[in-house]
């Protein structure tokens, strides 16, 4: 009989790695070639890294496609023992896979995700659904809830959005995001960009930059985003616009919300959010 993990199944290695068995069927591909197909993956959290990755039993991996790395990326992935290049019909992906030093993870191979680090496998699936950037964390919730709150957004003192019908998105570890109908946003003050990001919980986002009044040099690019085709779990945010709380002034029911400090704060200050 198959048993599925619960919270107490999270374990720690002497190296500080957290891991737990996952009940999800996971597949990874490069192009049209399936490199890993597993019903017994492990979720792994490396020290200091907020999102998990998967490690797979060797028998679920196309080891015939792996070669010892010519230029191993030493010092990455918590003291990894061995790095592998992936060779698919002569197309070599360097350092696409590795093993961890932890005895608990012996016999398992982990892979890079292209949309997370710019190299590695480019298509990933949990069950029948494609996922992006990194595995979904079973200990994290993302809830999109329609609301009647009064939300106002200002940039450099200019009112950009004003609505009584936002959708509030609550995501573990991040501030509440306020998604606003386009009809309630001054789109004439925004300019669409070619920037996009992927999220395993929400989908692929499109972005806008500020082009309105005030000192535009103080406003980071890509400060507004929307999900034109969100994943079903957050379908309520479809085509609505959200603003980085970290870079704009948001007032909710008459109370100004303090700008939060998040993992995005630094990238926004660098004016290159991801």
CATH numbers and ranges of domains, the chain: 7-131 (2.170.150.40), 142-269 (2.170.150.40)
Q: What is the chain's pLDDT, residue by residue, as a tens digit (274 residues)? A: 444 445 558 899 988 999 999 999 999 999 999 999 999 999 999 988 888 999 999 999 999 999 999 998 877 787 777 999 999 999 999 999 999 988 889 999 999 998 888 889 999 999 999 998 999 999 999 999 999 999 999 999 999 999 999 999 999 989 999 999 999 999 999 999 999 998 999 999 999 999 976 555 679 999 999 999 999 999 999 999 999 999 999 999 999 999 998 888 877 866 544 3
Those residues with Cβ within 8 angstroms of residue 42's Cβ, 6 or more apart along the chain or in another chain: 19, 20, 21, 22, 54, 55, 56, 105, 108
The whole-model pTM stands at 0.82
């Amino acid at each position: 009989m198959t048993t599925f993990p619960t919270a107490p199944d999270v374990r720690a290695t002497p190296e500080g790695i957290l891991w737990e068995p996952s009940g999800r069927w996971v597949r990874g591909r490069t192009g049209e070639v399936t490199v890993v197909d597993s019903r017994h993956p492990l979720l792994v959290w490396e020290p200091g890294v907020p999102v998990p990755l998967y490690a797979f039993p060797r028998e679920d991996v196309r080891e015939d496609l792996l070669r010892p790395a010519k230029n191993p990326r030493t010092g990455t992935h918590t003291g990894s023992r061995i790095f592998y290049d992936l060779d698919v019909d002569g197309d070599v992906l360097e350092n696409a896979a590795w093993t961890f030093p932890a005895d608990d993870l012996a016999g398992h191979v982990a892979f890079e995700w292209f949309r997370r680090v710019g190299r590695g496998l480019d298509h990933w699936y949990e069950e029948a659904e494609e996922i992006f950037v990194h595995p979904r964390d079973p200990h994290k919730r993302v809830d999109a809830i329609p609301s009647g709150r009064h939300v106002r957004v200002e940039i450099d003192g200019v009112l950009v959005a004003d609505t009584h019908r936002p959708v509030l998105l609550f995501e573990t570890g991040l501030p509440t995001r306020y998604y606003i109908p386009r009809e309630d946003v001054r789109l004439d003050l925004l300019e669409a960009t070619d920037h996009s990001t992927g999220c395993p919980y929400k989908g692929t986002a499109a972005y806008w930059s500020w082009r309105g009044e005030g000192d535009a040099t103080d406003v980071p690019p890509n400060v507004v985003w929307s999900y034109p085709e969100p994943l079903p779990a957050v379908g309520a945010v479809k085509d609505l616009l959200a603003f980085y709380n970290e870079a704009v002034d948001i007032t909710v029911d008459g109370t100004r919300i303090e700008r939060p400090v998040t993992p995005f704060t630094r990238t926004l200050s660098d004016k290159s959010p991801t």
